[in-house]
Structure 1
């Protein structure tokens, strides 16, 4: 593997595991971090394979400079990984304005900004793969992480739309949506809103994370290898869920959403204009009809 990777938040957590795995397999990495000196051991081991770059992902000028430096150094970018981010736990009304702003700036606005910065280079190349490190929390909502998940839902939605927008340009986009992995997400990287009485479930979750007793199921080294394999695949998914816990959450959420949708479908359909033809009866709408599973199997 000789791809050039651009990885944000590469000094710790999943970003560090991915950076190490890519370098170990012969890839080249523009490794960004707020403190690039934390990457000194990788520079000592891998030399010119790795380019450490200082980057605060909330600083748009730094983003542009880091992307330009990476292209100038390596000549191209093949895989861009928006990994930098952090979690926060608390009740929605309890977060400070700064906490809300920081979450959205780091976990949503920043990956959008990095994506927009790299797209001109990838478009001119006619190739590239953008991996957005979202979360199963970008597909399934849970009490206590509403602001974090607002950012991740936004990132997964942005990625899905972007994938359709740039497919004809030879650029692929995947929202990677992990469950809990054994990084410092729930440890040193976790922030907390002030506690408010009455939110028992939220407060219990915050206490659990802060206790250090939360041991996730996911292995970051295996997640890193899954992403390396992913970029070699000729038909990568737009969404890649990682971890059995995440798979269980998503399967249940999809079933719940489907049941709720069907229950309220009469109300949904009742709001068309009287003079409008039901969309499902149109030629385009017929493409959106879902066949029963037994009919699909028969075909």
Structure 2
């Protein structure tokens, strides 16, 4: 299908920017979001007739409502939704405050959920559409020092996996993209850390924090290649529910699957005996 309309949240940098550029290059139309009005204006000036930007903070429900009203009035349809906007966060579970946890979930879960919910009536009316949730290999396997971020992405994976079952009969597709480390600003200026540091966690969560800093700018993943992979799966009749990206992502998912399989096999008798 040519000249599709994509709605992509968070296109100022990183994977979101790469996806938007790829979509425009491929001849489809982009509706993208920035949190900064100056960036929105600059993008619109540079991409007239090829794309349209909105200023949107996905942690503010009223702004999401307003964005969708503009989309419905101006474009009437969306063919592909990419929920990309979010934030990274590191800290041991005990180190992380309730306020920090809520900030992560407002961006990574609640904002994503609301955008998805507001796109669904459009997709149902069309009897078509593809929802791309930018998750993470950390949305499938947890890592020490990354637990709150993991939890937010696990939550996205949980509702999206159920959503896929609900909307498949309606002609709507859902894909969870699970990138490993990619060379974006994720580990740089846009990455947040718990304000509290507890020395007892220096050898676990602390090691993770230092590793995140060390790999910034050296990650294996190429955002442009990831964007092309994401674009390509939207052309498939039967796209995957999950799309891990990068060698590290494959290792993470495989390790988790093997761990679960081992626990089931080793404790199967206990599990099976816990019934009437």
TM-score, normalization: structure 2? Answer: 0.95
In the TM superposition, residue 252 of structure 1 has moved relative to its aligned partner by: 1.6
Equivalent runs, 1:2-17 vs 2, <5 Å: 2-17=3-18
Equivalent runs, 1:115-194 vs 2, <5 Å: 115-193=116-194, 194=196
Deviates more, 1:30-39 or 1:206-215: 206-215
Output one character per residue of 1:250-290: Cα deviation in whole Å (capped at 9) or x when no partner.
112211110111111111111111xxxxxxxxxxxxxxxxx
Deviates more, 1:230-239 or 1:63-72: 63-72
Aligned residue for 1:281? none
Aligned residue for 1:20? 21
In the TM superposition, residue 21 of structure 1 has moved relative to its aligned partner by: 1.1
Q: Distance in 1 between matches of 2:75 and 2:209?
A: 43
Q: Distance in 1 between matches of 2:10 and 2:269?
A: 47
Q: Which secondary structure state, in structure 2, belongs to the residue aligned with residue 98 of structure 1?
A: helix
Q: Which secondary structure state, in structure 2, belongs to the residue aligned with residue 132 of structure 1?
A: strand
Aligned residue for 2:206? 203
In the TM superposition, residue 23 of structure 1 has moved relative to its aligned partner by: 1.0
Ranked by relative contact order (alpha carbons within 8 Å, sequence separation 6 or more), the top structure is 2
Q: Distance in 2 between matches of 1:228 and 1:23?
A: 11
Point out 4+ residue stretches in structure 1 off by more than 3 angstroms: 39-42, 210-214
In the TM superposition, residue 41 of structure 1 has moved relative to its aligned partner by: 4.5
TM-score, normalization: structure 1? Answer: 0.88
Instruction: State the structure with more CA Rg.
Output: 1
In the TM superposition, residue 212 of structure 1 has moved relative to its aligned partner by: 5.9
| Unaligned residue ranges in structure 2 (runs of 5+) | none
Deviates more, 1:84-93 or 1:195-204: 195-204
Residues 14 and 224 of structure 1 are in contact (CA less than 8 Å); yes or no, is this contact kept in structure 2? Answer: yes
Output one character per residue of 1:221-245: Cα deviation in whole Å (capped at 9) or x when no partner.
0110011101101100111111111
Equivalent pairs counted in the alignment come to 273
Q: Distance in 2 between matches of 1:142 and 1:210?
A: 16
Aligned residue for 1:289? none
Q: Which secondary structure state, in structure 1, belongs to the residue aligned with residue 244 of structure 2?
A: strand
Equivalent runs, 1:1-299 vs 2, <5 Å: 1-193=2-194, 194-199=196-201, 200-211=203-214, 215-273=218-276
Q: Distance in 2 between matches of 1:214 and 1:268?
A: 45
| Unaligned residue ranges in structure 1 (runs of 5+) | 274-299
Residues 131 and 174 of structure 1 are in contact (CA less than 8 Å); yes or no, is this contact kept in structure 2? Answer: yes
Q: Which secondary structure state, in structure 2, belongs to the residue aligned with residue 91 of structure 1?
A: coil
In the TM superposition, residue 30 of structure 1 has moved relative to its aligned partner by: 1.0
Output one character per residue of 1:10-41: Cα deviation in whole Å (capped at 9) or x when no partner.
11111111111111211111111111422444
In the TM superposition, residue 88 of structure 1 has moved relative to its aligned partner by: 0.7
Q: Which secondary structure state, in structure 1, belongs to the residue aligned with residue 48 of structure 2?
A: helix
